Structure 1
Amino acid sequence: MLAAMAVVVGTGGAIGAWALLRLIAIATNLFWFGRLSAQPAAITDTPLGLWIVAIPVIGSLIVGLMARYGSDKIRGHGIPEAIETILFGESRLSLKVALLKPLSSAVSIGSGGPFGAEGPIIMTGGAIGSLFAQCFHLSAAERKTLLVAGAAAGMTAVFGTPMAAILLAIEVLLFEWKPRSFVPVVVGVIVAFAWRPWMIGGGAMFPFIALTPSGLWPIATAAGVGILVGLEATLLSTSLYRVEDLFHRLPIHWMWWPALGGIVVGIGGLIDAHVLGAGYPSIQALLDGSLAMRVVLALLMVKGVIWLVALGSGTSGGVLAPLLILGGAAGSLLGHFLPGGSGFWAMIGMAGIMSGAMRAPITGALFAVELTGHFDALPLAITAAASAYAVSVLLMRRSILTEKIARRGRHILQEYSVDLLDLVQADQLMTHNPATLPGKMSLRDAADFFAEGAKHRSYPVVNDGGVLLGLVSRTDALRWQVGDIMIETSLAETLSDASLLVAYPETPIGAVADLMVDSGIGRIPIVEPGSHRVLGILSRQDLLKARSAHRQSETGRSGFIKRSRSSATA
């Protein structure tokens, strides 16, 4: 069902991507050339001169007004907002966000904002998937699947990177690896990829000519490049949130912050117009190796500053394209001193910085090679991505995406592992041969038993053959004492089948935990299938012991080879 729905969502994501790119082109032409056209235009060709400072301010002011009087959810990167909606908003996005996010992003990017279309299209495609899902009776998990399918479909339509979009969904958005989410996401991505040649264009987005070096030295060099851009990613992420903190200290409403950031963007554009806008031509030029050293340095320094200030001001924009430019510029500079050419190492720098900043190493590596069509460079790309990722996790507590959510008081863990409760079976944790009460015991004797200080709050009741009849608790004993019940009646006569809450030796303890939550009972009998003879009992304390044992296996260190007493003394 979800896969069938993903066909519609994938188509919607592709249409959303087409519309977003057209809106960006229209805004660019209006702001910089005063004409109404949906054809792509380069801001570097503008004849405005000193007026170049004013355009980003005007665009940012419009975005601030849209955020205040439209929806404040259009502010920011796009991806953190999608993550927050998935984890804390039951994957419900509104129609207002679906309309305002691409429009505000088009105004922001078209007026010179140093952002790309990836964050906005992830939010827009996600909104399309979420709105479609809300037309049906679906669970929050199913809505999440369609939201992510729409986001990944939009990213695929813009960049033509289906594998990277699927992996971005897995590494950043889904927070699970399950067929019920993976298959629909793949369907949505492939549908969008099929529409892309008709709507946007086919082939790699940034093709370039380069020979992939082979041997040991390129691997070592890629690792070194990854370490350097990993440090760059760490510096950028830390600086971004320091800039954001500075804006929060301003004594004016946040609606005006983007306009203040726009002043810095305009000044940067006056220094070098290449730093304005999405910068896709600059990415292509970096890969082609056609940029002068002065322009590469401007991209690295000026683009970095205006991006940090603009994004920190809370305007609508993304992180991926600026990261590609900044990582590509660093790789290009290093490439001037390395065999293989500056373009090739710019691509490796792009893979590394995306991995380091977003904590998505496989996505970063595949995204770089899919964008360029250089799949033969994947081993070097993954080497740089892994190196940058290692630097990032050692130096930063969170990624550039999750830090924004953490500042709102919500912790996000991007490390996935198998749930211990689904891995361990009941017979591995249960208490064997537990204490039981005989079915022929009277209610009076049972009440006295609990009153005299029973060790546990509840006990299984069994017949002479050890077959479970039910579960009796201290609460039951208190009710018998004060209620109108024949006190000489036996437990077997009193208990009903409704009290038969059981699990089996092969039952995962996660299912037992769910049974405890649903019933409010803290001890579940483990019985033999078929005969229902009691084999053991599982308590909440047993589940906590399992958690403790798992933590010990993760953190406890010991050696298998012990030194002898004599050698230790020597």
Structure 2
Amino acid sequence: MRASIHRLGVNEHIILSAIAIAIGILVGYGAILFRTLIELFQFFFLGSGSENVVDIVKGLEWWHVLLAPVAGGAIVGPMVHFLFPGSRGHGVPEVMSSVALHGGKMKMRDGIGKMLACSLSIGSGGSVGREGPVVHVGATISSWLGSKLQMSTKHMRTMVGCGAAAGIAASFNAPIAGVMFALEVILADYGLATFSPIVLSSVIATVIARLHLGDFPAFIVPHYTLVSAWEIPAYIGLGLVCGITGILFMHTLFKSEDLWAKIPVPRWMKPAMGGFLLGAMALVFPQVMGVGYDTMNNALLEQMAGWIMALLVIIKIIATSITLGSGFSGGVFTPSLFLGAMVGGAFGTYAHALFPALSASPGAYTLVGMGAMAAAVLGAPISAILILFELTNDYRIMLALMVASMVATLLINQVYRDSVYTKALRRHNIDLWSGRESGLLRHIKVGSIMRRSYEQIPDSLSIRKLKAKIHQSQEENFLVTNDDGSLKGIVSFQDIRGVAFEEGVEDLVLVRDIATRELITVTPDDNLYDAFRLMGSGNIEQLPVVAANGSGEVLGVVTNNDVIKAYNRALLDREVEEEARSR
């Protein structure tokens, strides 16, 4: 692509900006299509496409409420399992992994599957969010376009960020928040070259959404303000409660996934089972069905009792955990906002009742709780603050929001050291905190570079013969094996120093008497990142490679230098590939 740009004589940034505008248009219409699908499926399952899901559910027969999520799960389960297995997940973690480890490459098939599975899940009453899937769909569209244009890996990542920003912007009618979400969560890059295209995509997607859906905020937010400086301790307390609730939410969510995985039934049947449990809960608490925008608006307008909101915190955590754990598809962005609204509303109700002259009304705490919970659970405090700022168009409540968001984020980081997104990836052995470069080592197996010829000695060898062996060899470490070839230890020159110069013991002391028996080993299926980490933690330069069946059979060795050479080769291959793609 770079060569084509040079031939045209056009500045590269202008070309990227034009592509970013195209992505904004495509993702804007993609977000509209996604919302239309949700409305169509909701009309099919619940009889109405309105966002006032609580009112809809209250008007249905009990059997209809119970069976609607079951029917949705009966469709989503087989569809994801047999047709779109790549569409599993919350949406955002898969985009983060693609950017960090795969150069922004995403499959269009997975994006289509994600859109269908999520719209079916939400339309049938699933207690999940739509913003995460929109980010996935936007990133997939931009990745597809980047692949068609044969963009370099660097530019491909930027384009994926453009798609993610456009998705958030179109969903919340919040272009600034879309930009910051892409920079803060997806790319972790605030460079000017990255910033400009993302801004364009976000703005264009917002314009498209406003053109077709109207210039309306995602939530109905009255104007709130900080009543008194004495209210700051109350918002610190709200931040602590949001942090604790976020920890409970994340723990329950991942515990639910583990429990559902252990149920001995086919995977494609589990969403229908989860749908039955969700429908049963909705008979008593209809607020758990769907994305929950109507319930959040009621909390913001102070139309809910404090005890109901407090109870809904627990019910929503269980409902969302069942929905996602059983195999429905959807995001955790909106459920985080829902939990924050309920926590903040309940907290504000009782704070205002105790100190009416010093505290704002419960709606202000609802708003701050939404931002604090999203900031902590999603690991995106800047994005959460900006979303709320764009929703209110008022900076007077921002001080309270910033305080609560930081307290909640610090608390969750202290316990989990992960957001819900990075925790989901870590559960699949993907560690983004270690950096994109470590991904090179994670994709190389020990068996592909291990040395199959190595120095080994029997454990019955005398010290005299060992000294002669060391004198003739260029190796510093020797693997010690028994008669059947099983690994029993390792010996080096450092081990024989204590007995090498003592008279009369050279023929009496055997290798087995001085060998180090507490060994760190790897198998051929282990990756080089783990092997390199073991070498560093043990301050050793060589690891024995043993059979994975536990027999102790030695297959080879891998050294520190072997790992470094493999990394350099992989890095060079990647740079050559990126250079070839950019031409």
TM-score normalized by structure 1?
Answer: 0.70
Aligned to 1:20: 34
> d(CA) in 1 for partners of 2:435 and 2:226?
33
Aligned to 1:412: 432
Contact kept, 8 Å, 1:205 with 1:372, in 2: the verdict is no
CA change 1:414–1:267 in 2 (3 A) is farther
CA change 1:415–1:159 in 2 (3 A) is farther
CA change 1:395–1:39 in 2 (3 A) is closer
Give 1:250's match in structure 2, choosing from 263, 273, 279: 263
CA drift of 1:368 comes to: 2.2
Q: How many residues align?
A: 416
2:423 aligned with 1:403, yes or no?
yes
Matches within 5 A, 1:95-494: 95-293=108-306, 295-336=308-349, 337-338=351-352, 339-413=359-433
Instruction: Give secondary structure in 2 for the equivalent of 1:92.
Output: coil
CA drift of 1:184 comes to: 0.8
In the alignment, structure 2 segments of 5+ residues that lack a partner are: 1-14, 353-358, 437-559, 565-583
> d(CA) in 1 for partners of 2:51 and 2:162?
28
State the Cα deviation string for residues 319-366 of structure 1 (Å, max 9, x = none): 111111111101001111232111110011111111111111111222
One-letter amino acid matched to 1:129: S
> d(CA) in 1 for partners of 2:209 and 2:55?
27
CA change 1:89–1:111 in 2 (3 A) is same
Matches within 5 A, 1:529-544: none
State the Cα deviation string for residues 23-74 of structure 1 (Å, max 9, x = none): 11111111011x7xx6656353242323311111111221111111222222
> d(CA) in 1 for partners of 2:51 and 2:101?
38
Contact kept, 8 Å, 2:87 with 2:113, in 1: the verdict is yes
Contact kept, 8 Å, 1:17 with 1:154, in 2: the verdict is yes
Aligned to 2:479: none
> d(CA) in 2 for partners of 1:155 and 1:249?
34
State the Cα deviation string for residues 116-152 of structure 1 (Å, max 9, x = none): 2101100111111111111112112211111121111
> d(CA) in 2 for partners of 1:272 and 1:374?
33
> d(CA) in 1 for partners of 2:393 and 2:40?
29
CA change 1:93–1:322 in 2 (3 A) is same
Contact kept, 8 Å, 2:166 with 2:206, in 1: the verdict is yes
> d(CA) in 1 for partners of 2:409 and 2:310?
24
Contact kept, 8 Å, 1:358 with 1:401, in 2: the verdict is yes
Which deviates more from structure 2 when the two are superposed, residues 242-251 or residues 363-372? 363-372
CA change 1:366–1:150 in 2 (3 A) is same
CA drift of 1:298 comes to: 4.3
One-letter amino acid matched to 2:228: G
Aligned to 1:485: none
CA drift of 1:399 comes to: 1.3
Contact kept, 8 Å, 1:44 with 1:274, in 2: the verdict is no
> d(CA) in 2 for partners of 1:375 and 1:100?
40
State the Cα deviation string for residues 268-297 of structure 1 (Å, max 9, x = none): 111121210011111111100112345424
Contact kept, 8 Å, 1:357 with 1:399, in 2: the verdict is yes
State the Cα deviation string for residues 422-451 of structure 1 (Å, max 9, x = none): xxxxxxxxxxxxxxxxxxxxxxxxxxxxxx
Contact kept, 8 Å, 2:221 with 2:391, in 1: the verdict is no
> d(CA) in 2 for partners of 1:362 and 1:155?
14
Contact kept, 8 Å, 2:130 with 2:331, in 1: the verdict is yes
State the Cα deviation string for residues 374-396 of structure 1 (Å, max 9, x = none): 43211211111111111011111
> d(CA) in 2 for partners of 1:150 and 1:189?
8
Aligned to 2:579: none
Give 2:53's match in structure 1, choosing from 34, 42, 45: 42
One-letter amino acid matched to 1:6: A
Instruction: Give secondary structure in 1 for the equivalent of 2:397.
Output: helix
Quick check: which has more Rg, 1 or 2? 1
In the alignment, structure 1 segments of 5+ residues that lack a partner are: 417-539, 545-570
CA change 1:296–1:323 in 2 (3 A) is same
Structure 1: 4+ residue segments shifted above 4 A: 38-41
Which deviates more from structure 2 when the two are superposed, residues 292-301 or residues 345-354? 292-301
One-letter amino acid matched to 1:13: V
One-letter amino acid matched to 1:84: S
CA change 1:314–1:180 in 2 (3 A) is farther
> d(CA) in 1 for partners of 2:243 and 2:348?
17
> d(CA) in 2 for partners of 1:78 and 1:307?
15
Contact kept, 8 Å, 1:32 with 1:48, in 2: the verdict is no
Instruction: Give secondary structure in 1 for the equivalent of 2:283.
Output: helix
One-letter amino acid matched to 1:170: L
